[in-house]
Amino acid sequence: MNPAILTAAHRSLRFGTKLRVTNRNNGRSVIVRVNDRGPFIRGRVLDLSRAAAQNIGMVRSGTAKVCYEVVTAS
């Protein structure tokens, strides 16, 4: 996973699926492409690249409650 591009890891969504991820704390959202598997930590659904996390304002906290929706499935 390249930290400089807008990507995410998800356990079961197909690679290439695009998601709109919204930070529930501030309402900011970003479109990311699934290109990896994970996260493998209980209670987490997505891992975002650093660039994606920065776009929605969650780099400092490291984790955030988010909503996501599939924009396009591959």
**What residues contact 52, with CB distance under 8 A and at least 6 apart?**
6, 7, 8, 21, 30, 32
Averaged over 6-28, what is the pLDDT? 96
Instruction: Provide the pLDDT for residue 11.
Output: 96
At 20-71, the pLDDT tens digits run 999 999 999 999 999 999 999 999 999 999 999 999 999 888 889 999 999 9
What would be the CATH architecture of the domain defined by 7-70? Answer: Beta Barrel (2.40)
User: In this model, does residue 74 exceed pLDDT 80?
Assistant: no
Instruction: Provide the pLDDT for residue 61.
Output: 84
Indicate the domain borders of the chain. Answer: 7-70
